[in-house]
Amino acid sequence: MADPALHPETQPLKQIAVDYTPEACAHCTNSNTITLTFDHRGGARWRTTTRFLYGTFSARIQCPAGNTSGLNFNIYLSSLEGDKSQDEIDFEFLGKDRTIVQTNYYTTGTGNRESIHQLGFDCSDGFHEYVIKWGPNEIEWQIDGKVVRREEKRGGENFPEKPMFLYASVWDASYIDEGRWAGKYVGCDAPYVCIYKDIRVPTGTAVE
């Protein structure tokens, strides 16, 4: 039976915090749209103002176009960005190839659960819906209504259980694995703009 925690009510995201380069992040609450820009200033990262313990998180995303080699654009959950013992659940787009997306999850700072998915489209061509459904015993990643990955908690294994913020960012990932992961940054088509629309977060699972 599906975990009932995966299917709670959701609500539009009303308020965000910007962790760095606020001038590169535009938030329109009326249209429920957030725009991140990567250029000579670097990128930016936004997050929810509260953590959530389980629920459904979603956004329609149009990723940057042009030569995006080296860039990482994403939407993910994390108990605290930068914490070495974080829990985390990811959708990450790798700029060297906009026809794929990587999913991953972390428990107490340990990841290494990456999976690459063929999108069947270029993620910059238009808006597509990306959904993370997270419960105490199951995680689902969905794209345009289709489940692309499902993980169930197994006996004796750690599973994300810390309250988490919803985050999104655009950043230069050229240095990771000497550019083999996301490519080497070229920047010939800057500024790069990533647009998030119809962002939704759970109702009733926010943790102060």
Contacts of residue 15, Cβ cutoff 8 Å, sequence gap at least 6 = 29, 48, 49
Say which residue the tokens 């299917």 belong to.
Answer: 7
Q: Hey, what amino acid is at 128?
A: H
Separation of CA 57 from chain center? 10
Give the whole-angstrom CA distance, residue 16 versus residue 26.
10
**Which amino acids are annotated catalytic?**
88, 92
The neighbour count for residue 120, using CB atoms within 10 Å, is 11
Give the whole-angstrom CA distance, residue 128 versus residue 7.
20
Beta bridge partners of 16: 48
Q: What are 131's two structure tokens?
A: 């959904």
Q: What are 115's two structure tokens?
A: 């999976």
Contacts of residue 169, Cβ cutoff 8 Å, sequence gap at least 6 = 36, 43, 44, 45, 46, 72, 73, 74
Contacts of residue 30, Cβ cutoff 8 Å, sequence gap at least 6 = none
Measuring CA to CA, which residue among 77, 107, 76 is closest to residue 91? 76
